[in-house]
Amino acid sequence: MNIPDLPPATLRLRIDTAALADNWRALDKLSGNARAGAAVKADGYGLGIDHVMPALLGAGARQFFVAHWSEVPGVLAHTDGGSIAVLHGVGNAQEAAFAQATGVLPIINSLYQAQVWLEAGGGPCHLMVDTGINRLGVEPCKLGDPAIRQLQVDTLLSHLASADEDTEQNRAQLHAFREASQQVQPKALSLANSAGIALGADYHFDLTRPGLALYGGIPRETLCDAVQQVAYVEAAVLQVRELGAGDKVGYNAVFAAARPMRAATVSLGYADGILRSWGAEGAMQHDGRRLPIIGRVSMDMIILDCTDTDLSEGDFCNLSYTLPQASRISGLSQYELLTLLGNRFERVS
């Protein structure tokens, strides 16, 4: 059958691409003599790769990082393979063949991956050295292995474990990275993520890799003035009803009206990434009025106290998505708040 155009969505994720571009420019400037790349993994941190890539390219970003090979085609639609690096590296011959066919550079994380890459014919690649996060990366003591020596390393990378905190681990990792760079002959060095940029010039080297801060996250307070909000969550009211004193709301009746009130059911729920942890202190807004969440968040719906407002069916309400504040309210990390956003949103930029 011929499917007609869909009716307007009752869920919108508004993406301020001008703010995204400004965030990249600000982080690039804060990177000093280093150039800033951009982490666009997880579908552009949940915002949609086709929305974020044009904005980042327009701002001047030229090096992009994804985690999975499945994320490569979406980025390739906007830029060439040499601009893309895959953080998970090559774990088998099929991934290596795909990398060589597309020109995408794998980030080699182990002696096993180095051997896979060399057996596939090798070529330019990046190399991750583990300096203390114990996640992915070649151990520094193995950098002298013949397999590593044979690699054509473009950029030597490592990843900071606690850059959002003032901790001795940052300095220890910096020292370990400098030592590792003496054992490899790369064209460039890269250590700092968003929070690492804020640690200062010692951490910048040649290439920084901002992620969270591009999309409105504030991993360190010193970035507050540089980073703008990018994501805005909006949901339509499905129904408004009158409640009497004692009426119970939502699953398991965790809320009961203490007085007569109006309640609005909105088209938003935990299937969209707005988890039940929002319920205790969460609220939405309409025309500047705060509408507290009452009862439990459902899979597809949230109920709001809209007493003393003129809220009606079809009106849109806004969920505060200033990421540090939303993190405090929900108990979720700023990273989770972005990447949990579901695919039922109409993403609008």
pLDDT at 21 over 90: yes
Catalytic positions, please?
41, 251
Q: Which residues on neighbouring strands pair with residue 293, listed in sequence order?
A: 304
pLDDT at 260 over 90: yes
pLDDT at 32 over 90: yes
**227-243 average pLDDT score:** 98
pLDDT digits (tens, 9 = 90+) for 45-71: 999 999 999 999 999 999 999 999 999
Say whether pTM exceeds 0.85.
yes
Mean pLDDT for the chain? 97
Structure tokens given for 346: 């109409």
- Residue 124 and residue 152 in contact, taking contact as beta carbons nearer than 8 Å: yes
* Domains of the chain with bracketed CATH: 17-217 (3.20.20.10), 231-348 (2.40.37.10)
pLDDT at 1 over 90: no
pLDDT digits (tens, 9 = 90+) for 129-188: 999 999 999 999 999 999 999 999 999 999 999 999 999 999 999 999 999 999 999 999
Rounded to whole angstroms, the Cα distance separating 123 from 250 reads 58
How far, in Å, are 192, 266, 301 from residue 201 at the CA level?
A: 10, 47, 47
Do strands 302-305 and 261-266 pair parallel, antiparallel, or not at all (unpaired)? antiparallel
| pLDDT number for residue 344 | 97
Confidence category of residue 280, pLDDT binned at 50, 70, 90 = confident
Confidence category of residue 72, pLDDT binned at 50, 70, 90 = very high
Do strands 188-190 and 152-157 pair parallel, antiparallel, or not at all (unpaired)? parallel
Structure tokens given for 336: 């989770």
